[in-house]
Amino acid sequence: MQLPAILQPDSRVRLVQGAIAGALVTVVVGFGWGGWTLGRTAEKMAADSASSATVAALAPICVTRFTQGDESAAKLVTLKATDSWERDTYVAKGGWATFTGSEEPNRDVAEACARLLTAQN
């Protein structure tokens, strides 16, 4: 009995090579352009998104706490006179970026708060 051409020894090699090439192309296209990600990458993206959302929600509260405090105008002048890379430290030390339930200030919120405050007139 004669085997079909695709199952003959020479064709099996071609079949396996085609399957491997197809799998590689699928992986390259899927990860490159298809939007596939590994679990680690997805977790990192989710954590970054959550952190950004937290900062976006808490920075305006920090600004409000700063502006409603005693001598806020003088403190704003001091903040603007502070070097740009130290402004987040000034806000953090002032306690405006420390929220209920945490003992330490949120550095990212302090940085965003300082940027918002110095952008004001």
Q: What is the pLDDT of residue 17?
A: 83
Amino acid 85: pLDDT: 94
The pLDDT of residue 74: 93
- Residue 121: what pLDDT? 57
Digitized pLDDT (tens) for each residue of the chain, 121 residues in all:
677 766 666 777 778 888 999 999 999 999 989 889 999 999 999 999 999 999 999 999 999 999 998 899 999 999 999 999 999 999 999 999 999 998 999 999 999 999 999 997 5
pLDDT for the residue 116: 95
Q: What residue ranges do the domains of the chain occupy?
A: 1-36, 39-119
Contact status, residue 96 vs residue 113, Cβ threshold 8 Å: yes
- Rounded to two decimals, the pTM is 0.69
Q: What is the DSSP letter of 106?
A: -
pLDDT at residue 120 in the model: 77
Dihedral-angle region of residue 38 (phi above 0 means left; psi in -120 to 50 means alpha; beta otherwise): beta
pLDDT score of 25: 95
- Residues 51/57, Cβ–Cβ less than 8 Å: no
